[in-house]
Amino acid sequence: MTTDEKSYLLSTIRDVPDFPKPGIVFKDITTLLNNENAFGLLMDELVKRYEPMNLDFIAGIESRGFIFGAALASRLKTGFVPIRKKGKLPFTTVSEKYSLEYGIDEIEMHIDAFRDKESPKVLLIDDLIATGGTAEAACRLIKTLKADLVEAAFIIELGFLNGKEKILKHTNFYSVLEIE
């Protein structure tokens, strides 16, 4: 992706100051999603990167990872697997806990998310990586189900928070856009 294309995508993402709490600048991707040119450019870039990898599944982290993951899975003609917060999935699950600045949270996947495929090739995707706690838990969760976690991809990386370092302990890392 060219520097101009990255600048264009960044220009379609709205900053919302003091959300969800004072001092945070929230990166609102809804303005990228409702721009057909920007969303198309982003998806074309992801398809170009991941089509040669012959993935079996794309796993997306609740909730914005669902948007990008399901769209990419459809374009690559592969399965999509949701990674959800505890208690949101209706069948037998495996779970992984992770630390938050104010406590502990937990994410889950269905135990048969990869349909008993042996060593499925999986891509993890989410809209943004900050400190990396949720994404690292998702990496561990995918590996618990004996999958080959090919890469973790993020639309936006907040580089100054160093979340990438947690992911590199588990798999390859890719971000479309980096904000320092």
| pLDDT per position as a tens digit, 122-176 | 999 999 999 999 999 999 999 999 999 999 999 999 999 999 999 999 999 999 9
Q: What is the DSSP letter of 5?
A: H
101 in active site: yes
- Give yes or no for a contact between 67 and 125, defined as CB atoms under 8 angstroms apart: no
Catalytic residue among 5, 45, 49, 64: 64
What's the CATH number where 139 sits? 3.40.50.2020
**Domain range holding 136?**
3-179
Beta strand extents in the chain (DSSP E only):
14-17, 25-28, 57-61, 79-85, 93-100, 103-110, 121-129, 148-158, 172-179
- Give yes or no for a contact between 95 and 141, defined as CB atoms under 8 angstroms apart: yes
62 in active site: no
66-124: per-residue pLDDT in tens?
A: 999 999 999 999 999 999 999 999 999 999 999 877 789 999 999 999 998 999 999 99
- Total count of domains within the chain: 1
Catalytic residue among 36, 101, 118, 180: 101
At 176 the pLDDT is: 98
